[in-house]
Structure 1
Amino acid sequence: MADVSPSARPRARTRTRYRRRLRSRIILGFVLLGFSLTLLMVVATNKVRDRVEDTLVSDVLNRNIDELARRYYADPAKHPSTPIEQVRGFVFAPNGARLRTEFPEWASLSDGIYGLGGKNPDGTAFHYKLAVRRTQKAWFFIAYDTTQSERAKQRFNEQLTVVVILFTALSLLVGWWSASRVMSPVLELAQRLKRSRSGLTGPLANDFADDEVGQLAAALDDYSARLTEVVQRDREFNADVSHELRTPLAVIRGAIELLLAKSDLDEKTRSRLMRIQRAEQQCTDLISALLLLSRNERGQGTTDVARVAEQLLDAHRAQLGGKPVALRVEGNAGLMVDASEAAVTVALNNLIGNAVKYTLEGEVVVRLLPQSVEVVDSGPGLSPEDAARLFERGYRGTHAGHSQGGGIGLSIVRRLCELYGWDVRVAPGAVRGVVATLTFG
């Protein structure tokens, strides 16, 4: 199992989704709208143009083929094939050899109007519309050359493509301008918020119009006022609790010191008084550390980690209650940390306390390294679930059983590490147990 630290462990299983900036989404919306409308107009124009052209051509072909049939039946000997209204008319005998020789592709066509085409000898394309009418005496064909019309249609489509590109570019410019106008007050509001990192200097809503951005600024003003009130109440509560708790603790400390100064104390009573003294010091350190966390302030001072570790192990030895666990310190005794002693004591005490709690027999070793401290125990080790949730507030490990504790000790360690820039990791031991490493940045 790999090392587990609060920074490496995923805090929530959420999908990371890419979201475009609001400005980009506005511009993209304008571009898509302009492109879609222009393309729709082009398609509709082509459809209407083709329908109107087909209707006109069909009307011309039907009128001309009627006229061709009328002239033929009026004088069949003339076999009219002269152009009639810019079209060419042809009359062939049914299934005649001349039709199959001159226009073999026409022979299989039934009555109707067809669009045909091909290649000229020079390789250029030609297109024409052909109207076909079959009777028992003759087959009539009217051919209408649409080559120029098809070329004009191709040029027209090319121009429409240019129109689509131009209107899309115009939509891009309009979208860019509109996004700038729309986002200007939003960006101004964001800049105002960035400039006021230490707190809003005044109401935001007064500087914005009575629109959606103004309503957002008013909502932020209201939220800021409520947040300021909550923070103020929190600070006052922390200060009051700190003061009210320190006073009785100071009384307890003074009373313990006076009692310990007596020379007629038996060893049992002295041991109990020293235990009360250590508990009082632990409460004082914990109050100081929690007050630093609530204020998000780093305490000043330099702490001798070896001395703190020895004091903590002495306190835990007195609480073993006959459990066969050896507690010792090894390593570099000159490790000094630029932090308040209360913060170092609370962080290290939680790691040592967990190791002592879950080690039923064996030893707990506090190993001092040049820039870190390792707490090594011979307890039951870590389960995968414990490793994933170890630093969550309120979580108690699978080996906790009915032991006392609310599962907030390691969460306090994590918060102290975030405040001071330290790092805390836990990993399985080489053989058994757990190795907790507190690295001082």
Structure 2
Amino acid sequence: MRSRRKLRFRLVVSFALFGFGLSALFALASLDIRSRVEDQLINASLQNDVNQAVENKHDHPDQPLQSELVTAWLWSDRTIYKAPLAWQNLDTGVYDMHEVDEHGRQRHYKLAVSRKYGLIAFLSYDISRDDLGKQQLLFSVIGAVFLFGLLSLAIGLWLSRKVLKPVTELAQRLRDFRKNGKAEPLAPHFADDEVGELAQALDAYAEKLTAMVERDREFNSDVSHELRTPLAVIASTTELLQASPDLTDKLRERLKRIERASRQATELIEALLLLSRAERRGPTRGETTEVAKVAADVIESQRPQMRDKPLGIELAVNAPLTVNAPASVLSVALTNLIGNAIKYTLQGMVRVEIGSDRVEVIDTGPGIKPEDAERLFQRGVRGEGAGGSGAGLGLAIVRRLCDLYGWDVSMRPRADANGAIASIVFGRQG
């Protein structure tokens, strides 16, 4: 997993690395330039001096060899054997020489050689002090690099704190709004800069979001009133019609279907409204519901779908189970799972099993692919063989309801036969 760094940390590190790199580059450039200039000046001075000494000796043989810069020696081709052995075969030029003196110390010097007019002249220039100066310069430059690096780090810390202070304040105000549950305008608290623009954008977004929430609340209130009223009229009218003594059995069955459909619609509306409110405020857990009773009611309401199908359905209660949720929520979830099992099973059996902490709906239909099990709970996704009915919203609503109450809903293929198993695991109830 890629680690995330705070903006302030990245700013400080970038500033420190930039200062350190710039100081190191300047130090290297200074050392290189000093070395090049020094070599060029020493070489040119030594060569000019030795050439001038030879010219003077040639023009004035009676005068001793003189040098204004260095120690000089002059031999002829016949007396060159008197020179140090390391010098005797050197051609005209300037050489870096290293040797040990009589005290056992390393000696570093430049040696200029000139062979001209049968004479061989040597000029020696001791650069040990220059080496010491280079070493001191190197230590000074390294110290300066670390000093400027620490200075860059300190400046980076100070600048990051100053530059990011408005951003930190903006984040703190947002956290305070989340705790208080009330949004206040942010822009008046910040200057007219980039952070101020961000605050204005957040204010505009918060205003738009507040308007959307308000419209959603008004819509839910309107739906609650406008839909419940006609459904209540349908339910009461159906109940009155069923009390008529002259109804035929066929007509009475149709009225029962209308009653069941009206009750299912009412439960669905209540569940959706509750879901809308609870996703903003959290679920209400004061009401307890007996799972077996709701499952039996759902099975009875789904029996009309089994007509003209060689299909049976049974309810097995292996253990008593109650959940902390409204009956309408559980009814909507079970209606979708049981209804899907009946819809996709052409023949065989649909079995609803209730355990100590779960409900399982087991069918003998065509089954599902393991890789499609999770995808079926996505909005708009329908199973294979769904035909032209449905919009692929049922299981998505079930997943939202289960997530709200902390339940685990899933589907998987049967391992022992054709078909699928849909389950809701309620977890620990109390």
1:35 corresponds to: 20
Q: 1:90 to 1:196 in 2, by over 3 A?
A: farther
Match of 2:30 in 1: 45
Matched, 1:131 2:112: yes
Alignment partner of 2:39 out of 36, 41, 54: 54
Q: Which has the higher contact order (CA 8 A, sep 6+)?
A: 1
Q: 1:316 to 1:419 in 2, by over 3 A?
A: same
Are positions 1:303 and 2:289 aligned together? yes
Unaligned runs of 5+ in 1: 1-15
**In the alignment, which residue of structure 1 is the partner of 2:85?**
102
One-letter code aligned to 2:70 = Q
The reply on whether 1:329 has 2:311 as its aligned counterpart is no
Matches within 5 A, 1:60-99: 60-74=45-59, 84-89=68-73, 91=75, 93=77
Is the contact made by 1:422 and 1:440 (CA closer than 8 Å) also made in structure 2?
yes
Equivalent AA in structure 1 for residue 415 of structure 2 = A
Q: Which moved more, 1:320-329 or 1:121-130?
A: 121-130
Change (3 A) 1:84 1:332: same
Q: Deviations over 1:222-244 (max 9, x none)?
A: 21111111110111112112211
Say if 2:319 and 2:356, in contact at 8 Å, map to a contact too: no
Q: Residue in 2 aligned with 1:253?
A: 235
Which is worse superposed, 249-258 or 385-394? 385-394
Offset at 1:116? Answer: 4.4
Q: Distance in 2 between matches of 1:366 and 1:91?
A: 119
Query: How has the CA–CA distance of structure 1 residues 434 and 64 changed in structure 2, closer, same or farther, with 3 Å as cutoff?
Result: same
Within the alignment, does 1:148 sit opposite 2:133 as a pair? no
Matched letter for residue 270 of structure 1? R
What CA deviation, in whole Å up to 9, does each residue of 1:277-329 have, x standing for no partner? 11111111111111122222424411111111111112222211222222112
Aligned to 1:407: 392
Structure 1 Cα separation of the partners of residues 370 and 113 of structure 2: 84
Change (3 A) 1:246 1:96: same
Match of 2:408 among 400, 407, 423: 423
Q: Distance in 1 between matches of 2:312 and 2:61?
A: 129
* 1:319 corresponding residue in structure 2: 305
CA contact (8 A) 2:99 2:107 kept: yes
Corresponding position: 1:390 with 2:372: no
- Per the alignment, residue 434 of structure 1 pairs with 420
What SS does the corresponding residue of 2:305 show, helix, strand or coil? coil
* TM-score in terms of structure 1 length: 0.86
Sort the Cα spacing of 1:145 and 1:68 in 2 relative to 1 into closer, same or farther, 3 A.
same
Q: How far 1:388 moved relative to its partner?
A: 4.6
- In structure 2, the CA distance between the partners of 1:333 and 1:322, relative to structure 1 (3 Å rule), is farther
* Gapped regions of structure 2 (runs ≥ 5): none
Q: Do the aligned partners of 2:177 and 2:184 also contact (CA within 8 Å) in 1?
A: no
Conservation of the 8 A alpha-carbon contact between 1:193 and 1:200: no
CA contact (8 A) 1:376 1:436 kept: yes
1:189 paired residue number = 170
Distance 2:78 2:346 in 1: 113
- The change in CA–CA distance for 1:87 and 1:349 in structure 2 (over 3 A counts) is farther
Measured in 1, the distance between the counterparts of 2:104 and 2:382 equals 87
Distance change in 2, residues 1:307/1:90 (3 Å): farther
Equivalents in 1 of 2:398, 2:76: separation in Å? 104
| 1:204 aligned partner | 186
User: Partners in 1 of 2:113 and 2:348 — Cα distance?
Assistant: 107
**Within 2, Cα distance between the matches of 1:161 and 1:396?**
70
Tell me, in whole angstroms, the C-alpha distance in 2 between the residues paired with 1:367 and 1:414: 20
Aligned to 2:202: 220
Give the length in aligned residue pairs. Answer: 421
Counterpart Cα distance in 2 of 1:292 and 1:133: 106
Provide the identity percentage: 45
CA contact (8 A) 1:65 1:89 kept: no
Q: Distance in 1 between matches of 2:333 and 2:263?
A: 14
Distance 1:148 1:304, change over 3 A: same
2:140 counterpart SS class: helix
Report the CA distance between 1:266 and its aligned residue. Answer: 2.5
The one-letter code of the counterpart of 2:344 is Y
In 2: Cα distance, 1:219 partner to 1:376 partner: 52
Q: Is the 8 A contact 2:350 2:364 kept in 1?
A: yes
